């Protein structure tokens, strides 16, 4: 799934070049890193990228080893349930009983060996029973920015690894609730990684998201008529209900299991999160590109295109320079970038900076 805007990484992340098309962490676009990880389990010819029209060329450029036809643009974003339905139809055209994974394009996972092993276990679980499989991340802190998965004990062992039954999905908690989740040992972070067979997820759409299922069935039927897939996608897809796959399917299904993930994972949700992935200078500053800090500590300074950014006498700032826009904000205000962008959207003279 590569259709996000990555707004919290503005001004590097823009509508046509969002977070997953940038080397936010690593030396390749994050989408390319994700494809490389998956290619250890799934042949590249079976890897699809679902993106937007604005990002289509960028995704194809980031993934030259994928067949161009496997990089598919939604006519418009309709959230992750519709994207899952689109993926289901694409896979169904090739193999109506196949298992497939839905994976975010912009996460950081460095232990690719363990990742491949557990993704394979998720596939094996999905192929062995009529279940919806997710991978859950063991919480390292009482994080309030993630949804959680509440496990209900052992479902079965698969490949020598415990796979747990799921009791429920819960939305992002407040701090006290998150502390309780962490202390109980019964919860995982919901990383939005899912594996299932086409008939199983189709049945979930039919049972729990009837309106969306009807739209998908209409899309599938229209694709077989005159004009084919492209015409059907353009006409039908924008009419699909906009809802997340978590809310539409996962929170309502009773046949969900979770593979506990033992690989490292970071969704690098905003600029301050990149600090843990780079070696700081002697004063805790993380510097990317031509950047210098004098008399300051624990800053994140990012510069592109050979421009030198100098920071003097301040601490705990995020400073990001690009050719068209510059961001300066305290680390603890980085989440407010989205508020700034809302103001940009309302000013016709400034929308070119989105």
Please name the residues in contact with 344: beta carbons below 8 A apart, sequence gap of 6 or more: 350, 351, 353, 354
Q: Average pLDDT of 142-169?
A: 96
Q: Is pLDDT at 224 greater than 90 in this prediction?
A: no
Provide the pLDDT for residue 30.
Answer: 97
Taking residue 110's Cβ as centre, other Cβ atoms within 10 Å add up to 15
In which residue are the tokens 């030198």 written? 308
Which of 81, 86, 82 lies closest to 71 in space, CA to CA? 86
Find the mean pLDDT for residues 139-153. Answer: 95
What per-residue confidence (pLDDT) applies to 5?
85
Residue 226 pLDDT more than 80?
no
Per-residue pLDDT band for 129 (boundaries 50, 70, 90) equals very high
Give the model's pLDDT for residue 69: 94
Residue with tokens 């109506």: 96
pLDDT on residue 122: 98
State mean pLDDT over 255-269: 95
Q: Are 116 and 44 in contact (CB under 8 A)?
A: no
Cα gap 39→33, rounded to integer Å: 10
Tell me what pLDDT residue 353 has. 93
The token duo for 58 is: 């960028």
pLDDT, residue 136, reads 98
Distance, in Å, from the CA atom of 325 to the CA atom of 196, rounded to the nearest integer, reads 42
Q: What is the pLDDT of residue 316?
A: 98
Distances (CA, A) of 55 to 20, 29, 115, 217: 10, 13, 27, 26
- Peptide bond preceding 18: is omega within 30 degrees of 0, i.e. cis? no
Residues 308-315, mean pLDDT to the nearest whole number: 98
Does pLDDT of 134 surpass 90?
A: yes
What pLDDT digit, counting tens, does each position of 37-46 carry? Answer: 999 899 999 9
Other beta carbons within 10 angstroms of residue 190's beta carbon come to 22
Question: Looking at residue 16, what is its pLDDT?
Answer: 86
Task: Name the average pLDDT for the chain.
Answer: 95
What region, left, alpha or beta, does residue 295 occupy, with left being phi > 0 and alpha being psi -120 to 50 degrees?
left
Query: Is the predicted pLDDT of residue 104 greater than 80, yes or no?
Result: yes
Of the candidates 1, 28, 33, 6, the residue with the CA atom closest to the CA atom of residue 17: 6
Task: Specify the CATH architecture of the domain 75-261.
Answer: Alpha-Beta Complex (3.90)
What six digits make up the tokens of 158?
């698969």
CB 273 within 8 A of CB 281: no
* Mean pLDDT, rounded, for 135-143: 95
The answer to whether residue 225 scores a pLDDT higher than 90 is no
**pLDDT value of residue 295:** 97
Q: Spell out the domain ranges in the chain.
A: 75-261, 271-353
CB atoms within 10 A of CB 224: 10
CA–CA–CA angle 73, 40, 127 (5° rounding): 80
Backbone angles phi, psi at 268, to 5 degrees: 30, 70
Measured at the CA of 75, the angle between CA 71 and CA 44, to 5 degrees, comes to: 10
Q: What is the mean pLDDT of residues 241-265?
A: 96
Q: What pLDDT shows up at residue 318?
A: 98
């Amino acid at each position: 799934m590569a259709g996000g805007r990555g707004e919290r990484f503005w001004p590097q992340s823009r509508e046509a070049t969002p977070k997953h098309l940038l080397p936010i962490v690593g030396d390749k676009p994050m989408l390319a890193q994700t494809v490389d990880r998956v290619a250890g389990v799934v042949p590249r010819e079976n890897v699809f990228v679902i993106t937007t029209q604005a990002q289509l060329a960028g995704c194809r450029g980031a993934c030259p080893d994928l067949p161009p036809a496997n990089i598919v643009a939604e006519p418009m974003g309709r959230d992750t349930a519709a994207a899952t339905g689109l993926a289901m139809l694409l896979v169904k055209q090739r193999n109506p009983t196949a298992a497939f994974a839905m994976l975010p394009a912009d996460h950081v996972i460095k232990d690719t060996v363990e990742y491949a092993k557990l993704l394979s276990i998720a596939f094996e679980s999905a192929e062995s029973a009529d279940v919806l499989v997710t991978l859950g991340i063991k919480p390292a802190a009482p994080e309030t920015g993630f949804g959680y998965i509440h496990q209900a004990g052992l479902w079965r062992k698969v490949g020598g690894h415990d796979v747990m039954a799921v009791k429920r999905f819960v939305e992002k908690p407040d701090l006290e609730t998150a502390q309780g989740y962490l202390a109980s040992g019964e919860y995982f972070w919901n990383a939005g990684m899912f594996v299932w067979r086409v008939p199983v997820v189709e049945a979930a759409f039919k049972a729990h998201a009837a309106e969306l299922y009807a739209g998908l069935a209409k899309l599938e039927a229209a694709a077989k008529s005159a004009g084919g897939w492209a015409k059907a996608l353009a006409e039908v897809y924008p009419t699909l209900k906009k809802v997340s796959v978590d809310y539409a399917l996962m929170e309502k299904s009773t046949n969900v299991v979770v593979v506990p993930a033992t690989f490292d994972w970071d969704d690098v949700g905003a600029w301050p999160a990149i600090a843990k992935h780079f070696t700081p200078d002697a004063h805790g500053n993380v510097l990317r590109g031509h950047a210098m800090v004098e008399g300051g500590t624990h800053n994140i300074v990012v510069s592109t295109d050979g421009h030198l950014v100098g920071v003097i006498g301040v601490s705990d700032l995020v400073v990001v320079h690009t050719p068209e826009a510059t961001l300066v904000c305290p680390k603890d205000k980085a989440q407010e970038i989205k508020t700034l962008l809302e103001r940009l959207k309302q000013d016709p003279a400034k929308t070119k900076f989105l």
